[in-house]
Amino acid sequence: MHRTKVKVVAEALDANNTIAAANRSDFDRAGVRVVNFMSAPGAGKTALLERVLADLAGVRVGVLEGDVQGSIDADRLAGLHVPVVQLNTSPGFGGECHLDANIVRTALPSLPLDDLDLLVIENVGNLVCPAEFRVGEDRRVMVCSVTEGEDKPLKYPLMFRTCDLVLVNKIDLLPHLEYDLDKLLYNVDQVNPGVERLLVSARTGEGIESWRAWLMGIADREGTLA
């Protein structure tokens, strides 16, 4: 029984990787760089996008907004006048708690890929399975907010290990919390030594310029911007 289950999971991930490669080809053909944006629920993904997407200095950005249900986050981002496509994993996809390559693929015809330089895919809030499913992205970014505890890298190592940038959000709250930032960063380095990290606050704007610059750097394929 157990062996069969392992085999099924492995095959599902193989199938996912095949579709992720097809997405990757479409992104390359259109000249789009893609960020898979992940975190636990409530860490501040949408707020961090609201802070930067309206002003990326000429970088044409689109957003794929993944949620189990509803369009609350997509509605928030629609005010920024960038193309936003809402993906709901429920009920058509069984209320999945992550985006996989196939769900992303169903949204591609709704996106003006040829007119974009950068696509941000806001994943479903979850620190577990989003880390297992590649969707064709160039980079993986995760948000870890300081209200979540310093032990998260040790509890969810795959998420931390497979990301290219850790945004430590809500740092404006540090004076009000018993939170050891050094301990968090030490734990991050335990699972992904030296991974890039930015200390940010979507609320006060601290660190937001660095986050904006990082995103623009990903989109800047030819190195011609800034």
Q: Footprint of Zn ion on this chain (CB under 5 A)?
A: 97-98, 129
Q: In angstroms, what is the minimal distance from the CB of 132 to Zn ion? A: 8
Cα 174 to chain centroid, rounded:
24
Cα distance between residue 158 and residue 109, in whole Å: 31
Instruction: Name the helix (H) or strand (E) containing 91.
Output: none
Which one of Mg ion, Zn ion, none interacts with residue 98, CB within 5 to 8 A by kind?
Zn ion
Which one of Mg ion, Zn ion, none interacts with residue 39, CB within 5 to 8 A by kind?
none
Q: CB of 14 within 8 A of CB of 102?
A: no
Does 150 sit near Mg ion (CB under 5 A)? no
Cα distance between residue 99 and residue 148, in whole Å: 22
CA distances from 170 to 16, 27, 161, 174, 189 (A): 33, 32, 22, 8, 20
Which one of Zn ion, Mg ion, none interacts with residue 46, CB within 5 to 8 A by kind?
Mg ion
Does 51 sit near Mg ion (CB under 5 A)? no
Task: Pick between residue 68 and residue 225 the one whose CB is nearest to Mg ion.
Answer: 68
Q: Cβ-count burial of 22 within 10 angstroms (0-12 exposed, 13-18 middle, 19+ buried)? A: middle
Which one of Mg ion, Zn ion, none interacts with residue 73, CB within 5 to 8 A by kind?
Mg ion
* Binding residue (CB under 5 A) for Mg ion from 46, 89, 123, 187: 46
* Binding residue (CB under 5 A) for Mg ion from 19, 34, 39, 73: 73
Count of residues interacting with Mg ion (CB under 5 A):
3
Residues that bind Mg ion (CB under 5 A): 45-46, 73
